A = this chain, B = another copy of it.
Amino acid sequence: MTASKKASKSGFLVDAMQHSKPERARFLEWRKGGIDCTHITLSIWEDARDTLKVIGRWNRMFEQNADLIARAESVADIERIAKSGRTAVILGFQNTSPFEDDIELVEIFHKLGVRIVQLTYNIQNNVANGCWEDHDGGISKVFGRNVIAEMNRLGMMVDVSHCNERTCFEAIELSATPVAITHANPGEFVGTDIELKRRTKSTALIKAMAKRKGVIGLSMYPRMMKGGSDASLKTFCDMICWTVDLVGVDHVGFGTDFYTGWPETEIVWWRAGRFARQSPVAISPKFAEWPTWFRSPADFPKAVEGLTKRGFNSDEMAKLLGGNWMRMFKRTWAPVK
């Protein structure tokens, strides 16, 4: 229970995106880092049947590591699990691929506990357009709009982290509840390096998202961070302060995008899925090295400590650490009638 006490000391902590290979070593790091709640990925390109298999794997993780983690489907679940000294795990998709071409699958995956869904992963799909596309496509007229309406009806959070700019703006417009960017950094702060640029978000977009009460989760993922693997804790905290200055303290949180534990072949799957036989982008096929001050989520206290020194008061810190995400979950998981 030491880890749990540490968590409550620094405030309720939510990391809005992690995608490590699920295994006990990771859950121990979560406890060490004082993470009360995180959001994990069931699908990158997986279809419905593939996704059932991944849910099966997580069911066993929950059973075998019930001392460290539990599945959360509601804000009450998150609070109860965190109070018991464990990390609440939210199931999510980084793609609408599990919905295939079938609007009925949204309700089925909601029933299975999925609460956060990104509209597409990097490329164009049935629903939306991704940040790797060159044309200015947005959300599809039939399936895309229906999926968003269905997610609103059931109570699922719309995530646009890997979507292209137009898709993000359209999602903000179409969704009845606020839209999240669970894991992406502000382009203007990070710089215009072509390799980093596509996965970052414009100032105009971040403002539009915040205006509709959304939240952006900032990441120390080297490939979308100023300085890459050499990015300092100071730079990360500067980025948080820059974003808070832009849109206010109610719209910023953590979304580390941390991953580890996968074989390097996994990166080909993430880049190409079944759409191509090799990566469509000229990014290194090696995993990026995480910065020295954030080798794993066990290092979260360092990030929190760095931020504490920036002069936020305790209310502001509580919002940045997890309060903003908890507000988003409460709002977006309530079914829209």
Contact = CB atoms under 8 A, between A and B. Distances in A.
Interface of A: 48-49, 52-53, 55-57, 59-60, 102, 104-105, 107-108, 111-113
A111 B111 contact: yes
A108 B112 contact: yes
B48 A108 contact: no
Secondary structure of the A side of the interface? helix
A276 B102 CA distance: 28
A286 to B, nearest CB: 32
A60 B108 contact: no
A39 B250 CA distance: 49
**Identical subunits present:** 2
Given A48-B52, A49-B48, A49-B49, A59 B104 contact: yes
Contacts of A59: 104, 107-108
B48 A104 contact: no
A104 B60 contact: yes
A176 to B, nearest CB: 18
Contacts of A108: 52, 55-56, 59, 112
Given A112-B108, A112-B112, A102 B53 contact: yes
Contact of A105 (B52, B104, B105): B52
A42 to B, nearest CB: 12
Contact of A104 (B57, B104, B111, B112): B57
| Closest A-B pairs by Cβ, 5 of them | A56-B104, A49-B49, A59-B107, A52-B108, A111-B112
A52 B53 CA distance: 14
A53 B104 contact: yes
B48 A102 contact: no
A19 B153 CA distance: 30
Given A48-B49, A49-B48, A49-B49, A56 B105 contact: yes
A336 to B, nearest CB: 15
21 contacts: A48-B49, A48-B52, A52-B104, A52-B105, A52-B108, A55-B104, A55-B108, A56-B102, A56-B104, A56-B105, A56-B107, A56-B108, A57-B104, A59-B104, A59-B107, A60-B104, A108-B112, A111-B111, A111-B112, A111-B113, A112-B112
Nearest to A107: B59
Contacts of A52: 48, 104-105, 108
